[in-house]
Structure 1
Amino acid sequence: MQKKLPGLMIALAIAGGANAAPPASNEDITKRHFAELLAGPQPKTAELTMFFSMMPKGGDLHHHYSGAIYAEQYLEWVDKQRFCVDKASYQIVTDAAAIAAGRAKGSCLSSSEVIGDNAMYRELLQRWSIKDYANHGALQAPPDRQFFDTFGYFGPVASSNTNEGLLTLKQRALQENLGYIETIFELAPFTQSADFDRKVAQPGADLAAQLTAWSATLEQDAAFKQNIANYLANVKASSAGLDDARFTMRYQAYVLRFLSPSQVFSSMLAGFQLASQSPQIVGVNIVGAENFSVSMRDYALHMQMFKFLKTKYPSVKLALHAGELALGMVPPEGLTFHINDAITVAGADRIGHGIDLAHETNALGIMKTMRERGIPVEINLTSNDFIAGVKNQAHPLTLYRKYGVPFVISTDDPGVARNNLSGEYVLFASRYKTDYAEVKKLSYNSLRYSFLAAGDKQRLIKALDGRFTQFEADIAAAHKNTTAAKP
């Protein structure tokens, strides 16, 4: 006589046998769906765009505030500030007398007048960003010059209306399911000393002594202290109403690498003090075209300045632009040490760009150090492609991945480049063999490697867990529906 099966075994038998596989999880279905988007001779770019727009993204860690605002919004601010745009140069005119004279002659236009002249409006957008560069056949400036020149056009209004600008960036972030931005916000205040510049330029100068003396002078300077206080007040006012349960913003003070040595160092010192005094300011950076003559000449000096200040302020985090160079942009020897010195001399906690890696003298050693110390590289695919012409298999992302160096995907200047973080993930998935596990890890890495305080980091990671649970459920449901609808 046949024995009765226990109830559980009967249920399994009815479902398809005692050895039937358990139902696939939402994460497994999402993995398969993502693999289908990359299968075949060409990736399904439109579906990838929708996928990554929906996918929760932890943070954007390499993000310039002034380069993130679109030209159209800057043009609105021209009128808010009662400025005008010169019809010939497309520069913003800020001097009251020049504005009055320009308006009288019809050579200085309001934003509505610019928009009303379609040809001028299109030309302005092309000058104030990289819009239409790739499909525009007229004589153009070199790409790197085009990119960096845009900041000179909208610069006069870039530091105005910052609360409105940050709120705009927040809404765009939420639209693409991005929960955190660590933005390179405002230039740290600086001052100049002709005596310091002269002394550090002398052969055999005692740099440590000069840095010690100059920093001591600055720390006692009333104007320098007031500039620090003004910067802190500006961050507080600009960020009002920004952070909430869905979104968080933190700020890096930055230094311009093509200024004089005294200006660079005083700006660095201000940045370190700002990061020490405000939990909103989570790090210091150095920016500006790395191939400028002064940037190249003083690169080693700047790294020594960072080293000096890192010793005085060991808890301050550094995310340094380093190695944003390609063969031909500078003489070959200029490609051999920038990433290395940013890490081993300056003590960088993250590297921005790092695209000249393959030319560095100690490339394998650099990657070993980055891997062992957990120093990630911030990958900016659109920016690297446009400015330096580095993309696809020529991009050192292939090396960083092969040798286990952590990395994050970021935007750089989404207003100038007219991109967003979802689009950068689409480029990554389209150009490099990847899978869902890796892109999900990258989303989490953008919080793990942020400069957030520990409590904030844990809070955002926990929130990201929940957002991924919902995302995978949505993808699984949609995938089941499309599968069921097939004949």
Structure 2
Amino acid sequence: MKHTFPKLMMALAVAAACNAHAQKAAPGANEQATSRHFASLVSGAQPKSAELTLFFTMMPKGGDLHHHYSGAIYAEQFLQWVDKQGYCVHKNSYQIETDAGKLALERAASPATRTCITGEAVMLDNTMLAELLQRWGTKDFYNHSGQQTPPDRTFFDTFGYFNAVASTNTADGLRTLKQRAINENLSYIETVFELAPFTANADFDKAVLVQGLDAAALNARLEALLPVLDKDAGWNGWLDAYKKNVDTSTAGIDDAQFTMRYQPFVLRFLSPSQVFSSMVSAFKLARENPKVVGVNIVGQESTYVSMRDYKLHMQMFKFLKAKYPDVKLSLHAGELALGMVPPEGLQSHIADAINVAGASRIGHGMDIAHESNALATMQAMRERGIAVEVNLTSNDFILGIKGDAHPVTLYRKYGVPFVISTDDAGVSRNNLANEYVLFASRYKTNYAEVKKLSYDSIRYSFLSAPDKQRLLKALDGKFAKFEADVASSLHKAGN
């Protein structure tokens, strides 16, 4: 009997050690099981789309780094805001009416004779709702064989329909986007949020558009406009209103489950003075508010003014980046395809964005194969950790580029970091899980790569270092649970 207790203790110690080893090994085993399961979904002649949708809906997806706030709201919510604001929607044009006098006339008319109706009335009229969804988004575009506007024009025209209410209920909109993100296991959104304030200056416009203006002369003009802006009461008032809107609209968005950060944006097709004053606003906002983590420039890149002023805009960014070196830039660059503009227009937009403007991330980067120094540009992006925000749905719709023609194949081959993102999920009527499904369906990938993409969407975010570490640590736990759930479901199914 005297040897029983030591033997029992030894047996318990061995058992405990074995159990600890099993617990430690389980996460690795779960990851391997998940990897094998994923491989079974993408192998064969056709990927298993339904199972991939389930897989990516469940999978933690880190962040969405190319996300337009107004483009992420679905038309149905905009119609609710039409009624909240007391506006109406014209039956024939599908435009929102905001003029008080015209609204009063419509209200005075009998219901049968009204040509402008409430958002709720639109929702109750299935025919009008279907027509509206085709204009306020890209729904059913490929289901029609009749004459249509080109897809790029269709896409960018949608914003003209809902812009009247896009900025009216931002707190409500952000709460919707937060809950939608949580529902698909998305932890972070970095959204392009609201136009940065601007003002016009005709003399400045005339001076900077002079042919042959050198960098020194341009910088002198830019420098001279700064004190003018500081004294502009209207511009400063708009800037203060923007700051207040960020503070009030974003209250309560961040919590243990979800984080959101914001980028004020500049419209590239405005006049030079409007673009520059908007840039100055955006840089100031990013410096002063920790929730504003970067600056962006948006708008259709192929329009005349966007193309004419592209290099001018990059010089403006360079000028302001020197004054605000800590402000990060995520720039839409190279959202172009062969034939949209003359060939020389495809030669340097991405290179200029990173080498002149100082971009830390590139949105789209679609024309890289046409750039004059594409290999050197991709090498610089790889070495400097400049990630590309890949938006498969909108690239396909707007530019007609997908499959092997998509430059994500080049970025993968040459080691350029990239992330998967949505662009304008409300316009395209999709979500981030679907973007991952497209990536997995179209390209020969594996679980290790898609898991890395999820982590990279936090690593290449503009979050502060402590916030990055917090979200990466949380992602570790979420993936451990996800992989355990997948392994358990496979075991129960006998796989």
Tell me the TM-score range normalised by the shorter chain. Answer: over 0.9
Distance 2:435 2:70 in 1: 19
How far apart, in 2, do the equivalents of 1:221 and 1:277 lie? 19
**Structure 2 runs not aligned, ≥5 long:** 1-9, 15-24
SS of the residue corresponding to residue 134 of structure 1 reads helix
| Corresponding residue for residue 19 of structure 2 | none
Whole-Å separation in 1 of the counterparts to 2:371 and 2:105 = 53
- Equivalences for 1:476-487 in 2 at 5 Å? 476-483=487-494
Counterpart of 1:94 in structure 2 is 98
Q: Which amino acid aligns with 1:435?
A: N
Deviations 1:129-154 (A, max 9, x none): 00111212222110000000000000
Q: Which residue of 1 aligns with 2:52?
A: 48
Q: Measured at CA, do residues 100 and 138 of structure 1 come closer, stay the same or move farther in structure 2, by a change above 3 Å?
A: farther
Offset, 1:117: 2.0
| Aligned equivalents of 2:53, 2:144: Cα separation in 1 | 25
Task: State how 1:310-321 maps to structure 2 within 5 Å.
Answer: 310-321=321-332
Which residue pairs with 2:131 in the alignment?
123
SS class of match (2:326): coil
Q: TM-score, normalised by structure 2?
A: 0.93
Greater mean alpha carbon deviation, residues 71-80 or residues 202-211: 202-211
Greater than 6 Å deviation, 4+ residue runs:
none
Q: Distance in 2 between matches of 1:81 and 1:414?
A: 24
Residue 385 (structure 1) aligned to one of 390, 396, 403:
396
- In structure 2, how many angstroms separate the alpha carbons of the residues matched to 1:224 and 1:466? 46
**Correspondences of 1:150-189 after superposition (within 5 Å):** 150-189=158-197
Pairing 1:35-434 to 2, within 5 Å after superposition? 35-103=39-107, 104=109, 105-205=113-213, 206-434=217-445
Offset, 1:98: 1.1
TM-score by length of 1: 0.94
2:34 alignment counterpart: 30
SS in 1 for 2:93: coil
Q: Aligned to 2:474, what secondary structure does the other structure show?
A: helix
By how many angstroms is 1:112 displaced? 2.1
* TM-superposed deviation, 1:228: 1.8
Q: Secondary structure at the match of 1:280?
A: coil
1:100 Cα offset (Å): 2.3
Matched letter for residue 72 of structure 1: E
How many residues align? The count is 468
**Separation in 2, partners of 1:88, 1:30:** 52
Identical aligned pairs, as a percentage? Answer: 67
How many Å apart are 1:201 and its aligned residue? 1.6
Who is 1:4 aligned against?
none
* Offset at residue 217 of structure 1 (A): 1.7
Give the superposition deviation at 1:99.
Answer: 1.5
Separation in 1, partners of 2:124, 2:255? 38
Q: Distance in 2 between matches of 1:426 and 1:115?
A: 30
Amino acid at match of 1:133: F
The residue type paired with residue 141 of structure 1 is T
Q: Distance in 2 between matches of 1:280 and 1:49?
A: 32
RMSD: 1.6
Distance 1:268 1:85 in 2: 33
SS at match of 1:281: coil
Structure 1 position 102, deviation (Å): 3.3
How far apart, CA to CA, are the structure 2 residues paired with 1:481 and 1:448? 35
Unaligned runs of 5+ in 1: 1-6, 12-21
Secondary structure of the residue aligned to 1:25 is helix
Report the secondary structure of 2:293's partner residue.
strand
User: How many angstroms does 1:32 deviate by?
Assistant: 0.5
- How far apart are the structure 2 equivalents of 1:82 and 1:219? 36
Q: What code does the residue aligned with 1:81 have?
A: Q
- For 2:114, give the aligned amino acid: G
